[in-house]
């Protein structure tokens, strides 16, 4: 395994064709000046030891040295050894509502984007906890398995949208069941953070709540939306609103926040319900909830320890530069004896 720390420095590779162009221009300029001054055969007689091959060799060495320096700036890293790491924390699954009602704009910029902001900020506050992500609407969809790589988690989070699940509605039952299935370690502290506007078009969550209680899983719920509600915009590919979602009678659908269901889920699992209006308020409440949960040790994990390899390329680059400096343009004696270019007349 390997990775590149600063791939942006590959842009410096543009210097290589520039150096080649300057070399060719200089070569052409010298040749034209020599032709203007005297006959080329005379120059060969005046400087019999001047090599036609050495300047090209010096150019190649210079280009290789430049390439080595550029690679050293990019700093390739390789996983040369494995380490066993033990972590203490909580297993957390974020169950995120991605139904069409989450496109309502009664909170800025809309409920789904507000949810992403909240979850991203919560992840930023975590330490050694493992996280997973589930998306749900009319059914639940596994987005990200349990991981301690928070950058990957936030990347998957930002990619979530209302088109990930074809069946619409909000089925808390499926969402909770799938989230509970994420917890593969029996003795860890387990928490589901369920974010939604509270609309439940499924069969209810009672069965799933009982399943969560039996397995020692708490469910902290966050309500995103307003009691006043808002229309559900339908947008084109450019993000322009073209219409609003309508019901079977052709009337605009107004979606509201229903906190009662979310409060019921949280209360039954001995957790809390948080109103998702203020990002800071949500973060503070979540931190309090996490601090109250006992941290447990995860099973030992093998992780790759990447080590920088830039020094090898940098060292080789400097060696090539030194070689280029001390390499003279005179012919090498043993090459002269070979008479590769048939320069000696018999």
- The 10s digit of each residue's pLDDT in 42-92 is 556 555 566 667 778 888 999 999 999 999 998 888 765 556 667 678 899
In angstroms, the CA 62 to CA 331 distance is 19
Q: Which DSSP state fits 5? A: S
In angstroms, the CA 18 to CA 22 distance is 6
Is 334's pLDDT higher than 50? no
Q: What is the DSSP string of 71-85?
A: HHHH-EEEEEEEEEE
Answer with the residue of higher pLDDT: 75 or 334: 75
pLDDT of residue 307: 76
- 């992500």: which residue's tokens? 133
Q: What are the beta bridge partners of residue 243?
A: 234
Answer with the residue of higher pLDDT: 100 or 51: 100
- The 10s digit of each residue's pLDDT in 123-180 is 999 988 889 999 998 889 999 999 888 999 999 999 999 888 777 667 888 999 999 9
Q: Which stretches of 125-166 are DSSP H helices? A: 150-158
Q: How confident is the model at residue 346 (pLDDT cuts 50, 70, 90)?
A: very low
- The 10s digit of each residue's pLDDT in 237-267 is 777 888 888 888 889 989 999 999 899 999 9
- The 10s digit of each residue's pLDDT in 15-31 is 999 999 998 888 888 77
Helix axes 172-181, 259-268, angle to 10 degrees: 30
Burial 234-256, CB ≥16 within 10 A → b, else e: eeeeeeeeeeebeeeeeeeebbb
Is 296's pLDDT higher than 80? no
- 């410096």: which residue's tokens? 12
User: Which tokens belong to 201?
Assistant: 């078009």
Using alpha carbons, select from 123, 121, 170 the residue that is nearest to residue 150: 123
The pTM (predicted TM-score) of the whole model is 0.63
pLDDT of residue 242: 85
Percent of the chain beyond pLDDT 90? Answer: 42
- The 10s digit of each residue's pLDDT in 184-229 is 766 678 999 999 998 866 666 788 999 999 999 999 999 999 999 9
In angstroms, the CA 53 to CA 313 distance is 26
Judge whether 75 and 310 are in contact, CB under 8 Å. yes
Please classify residue 144 by burial: count the beta carbons closer than 10 Å to its beta carbon, then call 0-12 exposed, 13-18 middle and 19+ buried.
buried
> What are the structural domains, with CATH classification, of the chain?
2-81+306-338 (no CATH), 88-297 (3.40.50.410)
Answer with the residue of higher pLDDT: 110 or 323: 110
Judge whether 294 and 189 are in contact, CB under 8 Å. yes
Average pLDDT, the chain: 83
């Amino acid at each position: 395994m390997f990775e590149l720390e600063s791939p942006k420095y590959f842009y410096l590779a543009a210097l290589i064709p520039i150096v080649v162009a300057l070399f060719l221009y200089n070569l052409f300029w010298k040749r034209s000046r020599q032709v203007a001054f005297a006959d080329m055969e005379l120059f060969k007689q005046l400087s019999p030891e001047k090599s036609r091959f050495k300047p090209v060799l010096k150019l190649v060495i210079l280009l290789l040295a430049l390439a080595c320096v550029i690679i050293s700036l990019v700093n390739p890293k390789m996983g040369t050894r494995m380490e066993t790491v033990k972590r203490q924390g909580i297993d957390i699954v974020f169950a995120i509502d991605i139904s069409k009602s989450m496109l309502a704009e009664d909170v800025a910029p809309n409920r789904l984007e507000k949810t992403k902001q909240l979850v991203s900020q919560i992840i930023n506050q975590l330490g050694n906890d493992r996280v997973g992500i589930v998306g749900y609407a009319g059914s639940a969809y596994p987005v990200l398995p349990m991981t301690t790589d928070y950058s990957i988690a936030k990347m998957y989070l930002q990619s979530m949208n209302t088109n990930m699940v074809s069946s619409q509605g909000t089925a808390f039952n499926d969402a909770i069941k799938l989230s509970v299935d994420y917890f593969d370690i029996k003795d860890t502290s387990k928490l589901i953070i369920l974010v939604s506007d509270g609309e439940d078009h499924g069969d209810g969550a009672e069965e799933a709540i009982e399943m969560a209680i039996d397995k020692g899983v708490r469910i902290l719920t966050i309500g995103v939306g307003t009691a006043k509600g808002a229309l559900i915009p339908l947008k084109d590919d450019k993000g322009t609103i073209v219409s609003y979602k309508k019901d079977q009678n052709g009337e605009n659908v107004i979606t509201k926040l229903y906190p009662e269901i979310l409060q019921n889920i949280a209360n039954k699992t001995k957790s809390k319900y948080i109103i998702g209006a203020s990002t800071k308020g949500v973060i503070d409440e979540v931190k309090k909830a996490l601090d109250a949960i006992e941290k447990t040790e995860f099973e030992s994990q093998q992780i790759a320890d990447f080590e920088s390899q830039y020094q090898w390329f940098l060292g080789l680059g400097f060696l090539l530069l030194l070689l280029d400096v001390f390499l003279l343009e005179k012919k090498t004696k043993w090459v002269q004896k070979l008479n590769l270019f048939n320069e000696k007349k018999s």
